[in-house]
Amino acid sequence: MYDEILKMVKDQLGNNQQVASAIPADQQDAVQHEVASHLTNELKSQGAAQGGAGGLLSMLQEALKSGSPVVGAIQGGLVGSLGSRLGLPPAITGAIAGALPGLLQKFVNKANDPNDSSITKESIDQSIARSVATTPAT
């Protein structure tokens, strides 16, 4: 799932002129990987909490329509991560976080498109299951 999300991130950030021009050229690769890692981990976590791909996709669709705090929480975590790990200023992290709803919408659309096998409900469930299996019990 990470590789497909990374492709979406590169496409989304690269095609958004405001975001693309804000990211320093020497940090573009690191930013793309950080965004993809953060998004993948958040989706796996939310997917496990929602009972799998079906619950995750439904929750994301509702969250994107209603401006749910779930999207805001993902954005906030991403901003913090980009700032602390890569030292990016708020203007840049804010622009990147602003692209997140589009990325999430693209993720939902791909997962629900029977003609697009790059991200499927089954592959999401497999990623969630692997994540849960490797997470130590507390």
pLDDT band of residue 136 (cuts 50, 70, 90) is low
Q: What is the DSSP annotation of 48-100?
A: HHTTSHHHHHHHHHHHHHHT-HHHHHHHHHHHHHHHHHH---HHHHHHHHHTH
Q: What's the pTM?
A: 0.88
Q: What pLDDT band is residue 68 in, cutting at 50, 70 and 90?
A: confident
Instruction: Look up residue 87 and give its two tokens.
Output: 């030292």
Q: What is the dihedral of CA 111, 60, 6, 47, to 10 degrees?
A: -80
pLDDT tens digit string along 80-100? 999 999 999 998 998 898 889
**Quick check: 115 pLDDT over 80?**
yes
Q: Residue ranges per domain, the chain? A: 2-132
